[in-house]
Amino acid sequence: MKRLASLFLAVLALVAIGVAQAALSINGAGATFPNPMYSKWFDDYHKKNPNVEINYQSIGSGGGIKQVTEGTVDFGASDGPMNDEQLKAFQDKHGFPILHFPTVLGADVPTYNISGVSGELNFTPEALAAIFLGKVTKWNDPLIAGANKGVNLPGNDIVVVHRSDGSGTTYIWTDYLSKVSDEWKNKVGKGTSVNWPVGLGGKGNEGVAGLIKQTPNAFGYVELIYAIQNKMPYGKVKNSSGQFIKADLAGVTAAAAGAAKSMPDDFRVSITDAPGKTAYPISSFTWLLIPSKFSDGSKRDAIKGFIKWMLTDGQNDTEALSYAKLPKEVVAKETKALNQIQ
């Protein structure tokens, strides 16, 4: 009799766990590029709205695009905007389009781990392309040394590090390299996952930063905040006006200035190698990928509520994490676009 009673209680407890829906759970997945920002935002938003939990998993932009198309997550996130083929795939599968909403501006920085060099190195577009093509293999190669007179670069081999997963950060980097190097464009191309000529693979921005930090003579690209949070040195990049710019809020905002005025309606735009004397050439928007129709009304309202908050209060938190705010024009346009979500 006692055994039966305890069994019954156990079943009851199980059912209770299953039914307990204290909070509305929304799942998103995608880019690691803005993960520090998103995890802070979703945490803060949850504190302000305790009945909404937005669980974001940083599995890479490729994962974000794929899983939101499959419908296994409620929204995605990517720093490489979905291309026409992917947009069509979503439309075909769901019967309605998917929308892009820019959230912040960030930068890919070239970061390195060279003993004896703790300052900022200067990188020309030619040097960056050559290193990642595998044509420049040593740190003291003239292509690098030429821009860094006075710095004692060792003759060690460069350990190139790139992403092993589908990444928007990779998209931004390869998009830039495709613009500045024809050889890169034809040989490798741009995308979230490319056929890298050389290098080790790390999983996520976190994995790449981890690998660079632990491997001497390593060189790779990460989103700015990862280099800062981990106190890793990162270099300046020469922009289209010939200036060596270090990635910071000003440089990234300058890169977005042109795009802000001529932002397309679907918000898909590339701002790498942007014109402007102070523009940082490897900057980018990053987007939330939101389906335009939700069958669950409460989820839709929660997501729209979040985006509204993100466009207003949320923007005040970005600079503390070295992401640049969205330009005013973009914010206004997005607020209007919110109505497209039904």
CB of residue 325 vs other proteins: minimum separation in angstroms? 19
51 near other proteins, judged by CB under 8 A: no
Q: How many CB atoms are located within 10 Å of the residue 314 CB?
A: 22
Residues 5-34 that bind other proteins (CB under 8 A): 17-23, 25, 27, 29
203 near other proteins, judged by CB under 8 A: yes
CB of residue 287 vs other proteins: minimum separation in angstroms? 15
CB of residue 106 vs other proteins: minimum separation in angstroms? 14
Of the candidates 123, 196, 287, 306, which one interacts with other proteins according to CB under 8 A? 196
Tell me if residue 48 falls in helix, strand or coil. Answer: helix
153 near other proteins, judged by CB under 8 A: no
The residues with which 202 forms a beta bridge, in sequence order, are 163
Tell me if residue 99 falls in helix, strand or coil. Answer: strand
Question: b vs e for 250-272, b when ≥16 Cβ sit within 10 Å of the residue's Cβ?
Answer: ebbbbbbbebbeebeeebbbbbb
Residue 185 Ramachandran class (φ > 0 left, ψ -120 to 50 alpha, else beta): alpha
Tell me if residue 325 falls in helix, strand or coil. Answer: coil
Of the candidates 33, 45, 63, 223, which one interacts with other proteins according to CB under 8 A? 63
Report the distance separating Cα 84 and Cα 242, nearest Å.
Answer: 33
Residues 170-189 that bind other proteins (CB under 8 A): 188-189
Nearer to other proteins, 36 or 276 (CB): 36
Nearer to other proteins, 247 or 337 (CB): 247
Nearer to other proteins, 207 or 235 (CB): 207
Residues 232-291 that bind other proteins (CB under 8 A): 232
Strands (DSSP E) along the chain, which ranges? Answer: 24-30, 52-58, 75-78, 98-113, 122-123, 159-163, 200-202, 218-223, 236-238, 244-245, 283-291
Please count the residues of this chain forming the interface with other proteins, following the rule CB under 8 A: 74
Question: Which of these ranges, 54-62, 240-248, 281-289, 302-310, lies near other proteins under the rule CB under 8 A?
Answer: 54-62
Annotate 239-265 with DSSP letters as a single string. -TTS-EE--SHHHHHHHHHHHHHT--T
72 near other proteins, judged by CB under 8 A: yes
36 near other proteins, judged by CB under 8 A: yes
CB of residue 222 vs other proteins: minimum separation in angstroms? 9
Instruction: Please answer whether residues 124 and 163 qualify as being in contact, where contact means their C-beta atoms are separated by less than 8 angstroms.
Output: no
Residue 279 Ramachandran class (φ > 0 left, ψ -120 to 50 alpha, else beta): beta
Of the candidates 126, 141, 206, 301, which one interacts with other proteins according to CB under 8 A? 206
State both tokens at 77: 């996130």
Nearer to other proteins, 25 or 342 (CB): 25
73 near other proteins, judged by CB under 8 A: yes
Instruction: Please answer whether residues 211 and 200 qualify as being in contact, where contact means their C-beta atoms are separated by less than 8 angstroms.
Output: yes
4 near other proteins, judged by CB under 8 A: no
Nearer to other proteins, 239 or 322 (CB): 322
Tell me if residue 157 falls in helix, strand or coil. Answer: strand
Q: What are phi and psi of 113, to 5 degrees?
A: -140, 85
Residues 78-137 that bind other proteins (CB under 8 A): 86, 89
CB of residue 142 vs other proteins: minimum separation in angstroms? 20
Of the candidates 39, 51, 140, 298, which one interacts with other proteins according to CB under 8 A? 39
Closest C-alpha among 152, 91, 66, 150 to residue 117: 152
141 near other proteins, judged by CB under 8 A: no
Question: Which of these ranges, 143-151, 199-207, 250-258, 260-268, lies near other proteins under the rule CB under 8 A?
Answer: 199-207
214 near other proteins, judged by CB under 8 A: yes
Report the distance separating Cα 103 and Cα 97, nearest Å.
Answer: 19
Of the candidates 117, 127, 136, 194, which one interacts with other proteins according to CB under 8 A? 194
